[in-house]
Each structure stands twice: as C-alpha cells, then as structure tokens.
A and B are shown apart, each in its own frame.
Chain A
Amino acid sequence: MVDIDLSMVNWARAQFALTAMYHWIFVPLTLGLSFLCAFFESIYVRTEDKQWLTITKFWMTLFGINFAIGVATGIILEFEFGTNWSNYSWIVGDIFGAPLAIEGIFAFFLEATFFAVMFFGWNRVSKKFHLFSTWMVAVGSNLSAVWILVANGWMQNPVGMIFNPETARFEMNNFSEVVFNPVAVSKFVHTSSSGFLFASLFVLSISCWYLIRGKHLQMAKKSIVVASVFGLLSSSFVAFTGDESAYVVARKQPMKLAAIEGLYKGQTKAPIVAAGILNPDKKPGDNQEPFLVEIKIPYLLSLLANRSFNSFVPGIDDLVYGNEEQKIEGVASKINKGKTAINDLALFKQARKENNNKKAESALANFKKNQEYMGYGYLNKPEEAVPSIAIPYYAFHIMVALGTLFPVMFAVFLFYAFKDSLTRQKWLLPLGLISGLLGLIAQESGWAVAEVGRQPWAINGLLPVKIATTNLAATNVQITFFMFLGIFTLLLLAEITIMLKQISIGPEEGVLK
C-alpha cells in the first residue's frame, strides 16, 4: 500500500514517548494534589483554623507551579496525532477524535475557569464558592483523565466500531461501548488512583524534609496525616485496580501479559515471577532459558490472569507460532490472511474507481472473510508481533514492587503520627523523603508497561504503528524531537528550581503575607 520510512516511524515513536513521559511527570501530581488541596481547604472551611489555610495555600502554590508545566507539555500531545500520526488520525478520527473533543469541552474549561478562582479568588468570591472552585479543579483534572484514557483504552482494545471499506477507515457505531470499554474503565481507575498515590508521596516527601530540617513542624505533621490517609486508601485501590487491569490485559492483550511476565512457553498452573533477571540472548522460538535467575511463586499467574489456579496462560511462543492444543492461531497464518485482505481491499477500491460494481462486490465479499486480520498483513514476519520484552518486564516488576512498598510505608507513617513520635524516627524520614522520587519511577514504569507492551500496534491487532505515521521525511521529526527535548528539559529545570525555592521559603513567607 505505501512505502514505509522506518526511520520516521522510530523517530515519531521516540517523540511520542518523550513528550508523553515528560507530560506524565506532572499530570499524576495534578490529579492527586488537586484533591489534596481540596481536602486541606475543606478542613480549613470546616474548622476555621487559619493554620489549615496556611497549609492549603502552601500546597496550592506548588500545585500551580506543577499545573502550568503540565498544561505546557500537554498541548503538543493532542496535536502530535495529527502532525506525526496523520494516517492514524484519518483512519480512526471518527472514534478517537470524539473523546479528545469531549475532554476539551467538559474537562479543560472546568479546570481553566476554576483555576483562576482558586488562585486569585480568595478576596473576590465567598469562602464557600472558593472551596467549590478548588473541588471543581480537582474534578476537572480527573475528568480529563477519564476522556484521555477512554481514547487510550480504545487503542488497546478497539470496540464500538466497524471498518468501512468504502473509505478504508474505522467508524464508530456504538458510543457507549467506546466509553465503557473494560480496558478504559480499568485504566482510568488504576491511573487516577495512582495519581492520588503519587501526590500523597509528594506531600510526604516534602513534609519529611521539613521534619528532618526541624522546620514548619506543625504543617509537616498535619500534611503527613492527611497525605498518609489519602495515600493508604489510594494504594489499596491501586493494588486492587492493578489486579483488575492485569485480568483485562489477559483477556484483551495476551501478548502484553506474556511480555511483562517474560513468559515464553505457556502453561497451566502458571507461576508468577516475583523477581528475576532476563536472559538477554533469548529470542522467541529458541530453546534458551528465558531467565538467568528468577524467583517464582507457583500458580499465581494463572490466578491473576484467569482467576483460576488451573487455567492456561499463553506464552510468547504460543501466541507467535500457534498452539493447536489450546486453539491459538499463530501469527504466520494471521499474516497470510491479512495480506489477502489487503489485496482484496485494493481490488475493491480499484473496481470502485472503474465503476465495476460486480467486481467490487466480489472483492468486498472476499475482503470480509479476512478483514479482522488486515493489520497483521502489514507485518513482515511473525516475530514482529512481539514487543520488546525487557522494558515492559522490568517496568512491571519495578512498579509492582514499589506499589507493594507504598501502603506499608503510609501505614507506618500513620502509626508514628498518631503516637506523635515522627520526628524521632530517624530511619523513617529519609525513606519518606525519597518516596516522591520512587512514586515518579512507579508512574513512568506504568506508562512503559502500557505503551511499550502493546507494540507493534497503534490499535491493538488492527493497525501497526509503522502504518500509522505521516508521510514525512524523518529529518523533520528528528528536528522537532530535539526541539521538544530542549524546551521541555529547560522548563523542567525551571520548574524544579522554582519548586525547591518555594519549598525552602516554606509556608509562612512564601504564601501568606
């Protein structure tokens, strides 16, 4: 169908990863810190204790600094689909554009409008309306997460649409299927709750720094209590929804599940790898051991994937080369069917152009037999259907390990906070201090699991990334890659130095005059 410039594809992917991962430093913090600010302010309005107002304003200052750069890094993502992935935009714009437009209408305006009140309305609106505005910013931020994850969920599990051979594109035929897509639902609950968790870690980190330095003790202790309660609740929710996400992935993206577990040979009663080092030489289909060292927990993967100890979990080899016993079709056969479908579609388009209805109809009938495999027709060999294993595998295990540590940490902090002996726990405070950074690592790992693990697909099983790009010389994308790298790095450095300065100024001088 088209000449593919692989270098362009790789640069476009690198650019998406760059911009998305930068954006993702700030967004989870916005998702959670907006609610934490709303909690702090609610306590202030309830108790009328000025100390809570100080606390609220301090965290709001940090929220604002973070929010601005989140907005700055976000605008490019919406338009990047057009600039670098225009073929994708055209093929699925019917379905994918809708959630982005809805996000604009219902989420961004809520955030933008009430953000101005939250920061400048203290003396312009009533106390209650101000509180309401702070809550609206939190709702707006999280509402935008809903819609962008509906869009992302659809790429992972395309539903609610049909392929229209006349236009050679996908068209929506069921909006509620798109919105209530199980992948979208599990993504949203997992992602937003992980944002709450990350923001709690951020508050904990900075508060621990104050405790270590012996400054702003009252604010730090109070902030720790609120953040630990929120963090503890969020982390249990994150764990629960993470389990649900894995279950959905097992249904919809078995290759991703196999990749994050480094599972090559499928098995019943499959164990989970708790920790291990991948064998870097291992390739699909060879007989090498996948791990150099590993610690396994028996049965757990079968339980996680299928809610049953005895169930079969397919491995990479089963999915690539097929497994007759388990009725899994190999990629080679899917590629053949896909190529036939592409061919029939071309014949159909040609016949339409020539106004030859009879020929068109028969080509269409043939096309329909294999159309669900069309995306596979663009793959050159079965192994191309396998994502990178190392990135999703390590990212997943880092994420899970950290996700297990966090709730324990919050519980310990709460315990000592209620005993009012936090300042004496010299071993605990440094851990709290670095916890924000650990949270960030967990966040970025989660992104890598979701997005690297689904390669080579832009739309799972239907459209490989290499077909989704713009017809554009790679040089253009290289230049813009470095432009974004440069400006985002500059802005990140600015954000960090400003944030550190505000933290060192602390609540009294910095916020209340």
Chain B
Amino acid sequence: MISNLDYATLQQLWWIICSIVGALFLFLTFVQGGQTLLWQVAKTDLEKSLVVTSLGRKWEMPFTTLVLFGGALFAAFPKFYATSFGGAYWVWILILFSFIIQAVSYEYRKKPNNFLGSTVYELFLFINGSVGILLIGAAIGTFYTGSNFTLDLYNRVTWDYTLLGINLRGLEAAFSLFNLSLGIFLVFNARILGALYLLSNIDLSSTPDLESRLRKGAWNSFLIALPFLLYVFICILFMKGFNVDDAGVVSQVPSKYLSNLLAMPYFLILLLTGIILVLYGVLSSYFKKSNKGIWFSGLGTILTGFVVLCLPAFNNTAFYPSKLDLQSSLTIFNASSSMFTLTTMTYVALGIPIVLAYVVYVWKLMDSKKLTAEEVTEEESY
C-alpha cells in the first residue's frame, strides 16, 4: 500500500508525522515547565525531592522526542535540516546547550561530591526550561515570520543579518515580537503543564503547601501566558504569509494563515478544541481542585502545537520562508527527501504505534501509584 503512495502524498504525510512528533514534544515540555517551577513551589527538601523525582522519571521523554524530531526532519526534509541548523546556527546551538546541561542535572543534583553543588544543577534545569523553551518557540515562530537566508544553485545557505558588524545567525529571531511572544507563551504553557503534571503525579496529602503552590503556579502561569497567546493568535489571523503559486513562485500575501485556516477548516476545529482543552485543564485544576488537568491541557497542547506546525506548511505555503530572497523559501515539496527515502521511512514509521504503545503501557505501570514522601526518602530518588 505504501509503495503506491505518490510523491506529494508522502511529502505531506511526512510533514504531518514531523508535526505530530513536534506537538508531542511540546506536551512533554511539562518536564521543562516543572523545572522552572522548582524554586517557586518547593520550599523544603522533601518538596524539592518530590518535584525533582517526579519530573526526573520523565526527563528523558522530551529529550528523546526532541532528538527524534531532529532525526525525522533530517531524514524527511534534509534541505530544511541543513538550512535551518547550519543557518540559524546560534539559536540551535543555545537550545542544544540548554539540553546538554539538563541531561546530567537530575542524576547529579543530589549525589555526594557532585563538584558543582546542587544549586548549580537546579540552575541548569531552570535554564533548560526557560531559555531552551523560549528559543524553541522563537525558532518555530520563524515558520511564520521568515528568516534571513539565501540558497545558491547548489543549495548552500548564506545567512545574512548583521548587527554591529556581527552576523547574528538566527538570534535575530528574538527581535520579532511575534517570535518572542510565541516563545514566552510556550515557556508559560510548559509551566502550566508542569504544575498540572506534578499535581497528578505526586501524592500531596503530606505536603498541602506544595499542592496549593502548584495550583497557584498553574493559574499564575496561565494569566501570564494568556496575553501572549492572544497576541500570537491575532497575529496569525492577520499577518502576511508566504504563498506559493502554481509556478512555484513565492510571494507575500495578506492574511495568508487566516485563509489557510478557512481553506482547511479541520485545522481551525483542532486549534479551537486544543485551546479550549488547555483552558479546561487549567480552570478545572484551579476552581474544581481537579488533579487530572494535565490530560486536558496536555491533549490541548498536542492539538494546538500540531496546527501551529501544519498551518504554515500546507495549502501552498512556504514553511521556512526567506525574507531576503523569497524564492529561496522552503516548502514541503522542495525541501523533502527523494521518493525512495520517504517510502522507506514510511515503512519504518509503521513501528511508531508499537513504540507509543509500550511507552504508554510502561508509563501507566510506573504511575499507577502516586509518588509518596516515603518513597523519595527511603528509596531511589533524585
């Protein structure tokens, strides 16, 4: 069946797969969000242990998903991988750096003789959750606002944005209010998710203060995230977008993403459902004292993230537009791998549901009992 799929279908399918992986990553950033909440919600050593141990059992999930996101883009859209990673050099380097320091922090924070002291490892976790997610948001923002590159005949990327004589190599993405707002929204959305996850994962009966701080943390993060979400949403509706016409010529047209939403109403439905679910998760946790908010806000984040990644790619849109040279812009059709590779990778992707199934099974098995204070004091903990 897969071998009968035509090239264009495969290319679109792979953008959808990459977007699903990206959306799952955004959900899993509850780990990063929880990291930035650590100092704020956990005041005693026990509370800290509960929070860090609870997050520590999941930290590899967003990490691994991010790596898979990169690998899938490399395999399916190598021109994007080469252009963006080689071009927007500093954005990606700083994102990676924030994940390098995360990876050791859980394991090393509480170990005796850990060389840097536990506060430094907690700071590493904070940087990962704040700077890392902010930059990821800004990088996603450039799917809408464009970047400063040109491609030559051999597709070698030249990046050109200088400030005070220095080529910023992607850091200029932070100068766009839209990119910045998307980044800030993602940071606070991650904090919402982090707080909701901790509420559901920890047995809070012996630490009522932690519980109230978590509920407040989710609520306050939501209040901060809201204006940024609204700003991003309104911008998406009215901003100019990068349209590709039948001859493959890229041009900027007004309200492009609004017309994409109207042309593909299922994305509009997914987006609105997603936002409502995120809201419901937060509200139910704050007003109804529910501990299941993570599932609603989590699913909502997946749906919203999926639409945010798909909207600038489908309906004849360039997903990685160049502001410097519109015709260098990348579309899912000019940036993809060959048909053979996409077909092969589609067979490989048939294994993804199996992977998801065992991840979910093991996760349920491990989380069937909530994390208790006894457990973090008496057994293995971070």
A-to-B contact residues, CB < 8 Å: 1-2, 64-65, 67-69, 71-73, 75-76, 78-79, 81-87, 89-90, 92-98, 100-106, 108-117, 119-125, 129, 133, 164, 167-168, 171-173, 175, 349, 353, 470-473, 476, 480, 483, 487, 490-491, 493-495, 497-498, 500-502, 505, 513
Asked whether A89 and B86 contact (CB < 8 A) given A112-B63, A497-B113, the answer is: yes
Q: Within the complex, what minimum Cβ distance (angstroms) separates A351 from chain B? A: 12
Give the contacts of B147-169 with A (CB-CB under 8 A): 153-159, 167, 169
B58 on the A face (CB < 8 A): yes
Closest to A89 in B: B82
Q: Is the CB of B366 within 8 A of A86?
A: no
In contact, A97 and B100 (Cβ under 8 angstroms) = no
Give Cα distance in the complex from A73 to B102, angstroms.
11
A175 to B348 alpha-carbon distance, docked (Å) = 11
Q: Taking A487-B100, A501-B113 as contacts, is the C-beta distance between A120 and B57 under 8 angstroms? A: yes
Nearest CB in chain B to that of A118: its residue = B380
**Residues of B contacting A114 with CB < 8 Å?**
362
* Residue B351, interface by CB 8 Å: yes
A470 touches B89 (CB 8 A): yes
Which of B93, B157, B345 contacts A86 (CB under 8 A)? B157
CB atoms of A75 and B67 under 8 A apart: yes
Are B365 and A124 interface neighbours, CB within 8 A? yes
Q: Are B86 and A471 in contact (CB under 8 A)?
A: yes
What is the distance, in angstroms, from A3's C-beta to the closest C-beta of chain B?
A: 10
Q: List 28 A-B contacts (CB under 8 A).
A: A67-B107, A68-B104, A72-B101, A81-B74, A86-B157, A87-B156, A89-B74, A89-B85, A90-B155, A96-B74, A98-B75, A98-B341, A105-B351, A109-B68, A112-B63, A116-B58, A120-B366, A133-B362, A172-B341, A172-B344, A349-B153, A470-B87, A493-B115, A494-B114, A497-B113, A497-B115, A498-B113, A498-B115
Q: Which residues of B contact A104 (CB under 8 A)?
A: 64, 67-68, 70-72
Indicate whether B337 reaches chain A with its CB closer than 8 angstroms.
yes
The answer to whether A112 touches B86, judged by C-beta atoms less than 8 angstroms apart, is no
Across-interface contacts of B349 in A (CB, < 8 A):
105
Partner of A64, one of B101, B107, B355: B107
Interface residue ranges of B323-382 to A (CB < 8 Å): 337-338, 340-341, 344-345, 348-349, 351-352, 355, 358-359, 362-363, 365-366, 368-369, 375, 378-380
A72 near B104: Cβ-Cβ < 8 Å? yes
Interface size on B, residues (CB 8 A): 78
Known pairs A67-B107, A101-B76, A353-B153. 11 more at Cβ < 8 A? A64-B107, A73-B100, A75-B96, A75-B99, A81-B74, A82-B86, A86-B157, A87-B156, A90-B81, A115-B60, A494-B104
- The answer to whether B115 touches A494, judged by C-beta atoms less than 8 angstroms apart, is yes
Which residues of B approach A to under 8 Å, CB–CB? 53, 57-58, 60-61, 63-64, 66-68, 70-72, 74-76, 78-79, 81-87, 89-90, 92-93, 96-97, 99-104, 106-108, 111-116, 153-159, 167, 169, 337-338, 340-341, 344-345, 348-349, 351-352, 355, 358-359, 362-363, 365-366, 368-369, 375, 378-380
Complex CA gap A497/B93 in Å reads: 28
Give Cα distance in the complex from A340 to B42, angstroms: 68
Q: Give the distance to chain A from B192, nearest Cβ to Cβ, in Å.
A: 23
Q: Within the complex, which residue of B81, B101, B102, B104 is in contact with A97, where a contact is CB–CB below 8 Å?
A: B81
> Nearest A residue to B73 by beta-carbon distance?
A97
Q: Which of B60, B337, B359 contacts A94 (CB 8 A)?
A: B337
- The answer to whether A79 and B70 touch (CB under 8 A), given A71-B60, A90-B78, A113-B358, is yes
Contact of B113 among A116, A123, A471, A500 (CB under 8 A): A500
In the bound complex, residues from chain A placing their C-beta under 8 Å from that of B169 are 472, 476
* B114 touches which of A2, A98, A471, A498 (Cβ 8 Å): A498
Q: Which residues of the other chain, A, contact B113 by a CB distance below 8 angstroms?
A: 497-498, 500-501
Question: Could you say which residues of chain A place their CB within 8 Å of the CB of B103?
Answer: 68-69, 71-72, 75
Nearest 10 Cβ contacts at the A-B interface: A93-B78, A82-B85, A86-B86, A97-B75, A72-B103, A97-B74, A104-B68, A112-B60, A90-B82, A470-B86
Cα separation A121 to B108 with both chains bound (whole Å)? 19
